[in-house]
Amino acid sequence: MDCELCHGDGGTVLWQNDLCRVVSVDEPGLPGFLRVILNRHEREMTDLAERDRAAFMAVVFAVEAHVRRCLEPDKMNLASLGNMTPHLHWHVIPRWRDDRHFPGPVWSPARHDAPVPEARAAACARMAATLAGALGPARA
Amino acid sequence: MDCELCHGDGGTVLWQNDLCRVVSVDEPGLPGFLRVILNRHEREMTDLAERDRAAFMAVVFAVEAHVRRCLEPDKMNLASLGNMTPHLHWHVIPRWRDDRHFPGPVWSPARHDAPVPEARAAACARMAATLAGALGPARA
CB B92 within 8 A of CB B60: yes
Lowest mean pLDDT of A2-6, A85-89, B104-108, B135-139, name the range.
Answer: B135-139
CA distance linking residue B3 with residue B6, whole number of Å: 5
Query: Is the backbone peptide bond immediately before A28 cis, with ω within 30 degrees of 0?
Result: no
What is the pTM for the complete model shown?
0.97
Residue type, B47: D
Residues of chain A whose beta carbon is less than 8 angstroms from a beta carbon of chain B are 43-46, 53-54, 57, 61, 64-65, 68, 75-84, 86, 95, 102-105, 107-109
Q: pLDDT (tens digit, 9 = 90+) per residue, B22-46? A: 999 999 899 999 999 999 999 999 9
3-state helix, strand, coil in chain A (%, to 5): 35, 20, 45
Judged by CB atoms closer than 8 Å, whether chains meet at A79 and B75 is answered as no
Dihedral class, residue A55 (left if φ above 0, else alpha if ψ from -120 to 50, else beta): alpha
How would you write the pLDDT of chain B (140 residues) with one tens digit per residue? 699 999 999 999 999 999 999 999 999 899 999 999 999 999 999 999 999 999 999 999 999 999 999 999 999 999 999 999 999 999 999 999 999 999 999 999 999 999 999 999 999 999 999 999 999 875 44
CB B96 within 8 A of CB B106: no
Write the ipTM: 0.96
Mutant choice from A76, A99, A111 vs B, greatest count of B C-beta within 10 A = A76
Judged by CB atoms closer than 8 Å, whether chains meet at B79 and A105 is answered as yes
CA distance linking residue A41 with residue B61, whole number of Å: 19
Judged by CB atoms closer than 8 Å, whether chains meet at A79 and B44 is answered as no
3-state helix, strand, coil in chain B (%, to 5): 35, 20, 45
pLDDT at A138: 52
Q: What value does the mean pLDDT take over residues A75-90?
A: 98
Asked if residue A1 has pLDDT above 80, the reply is no
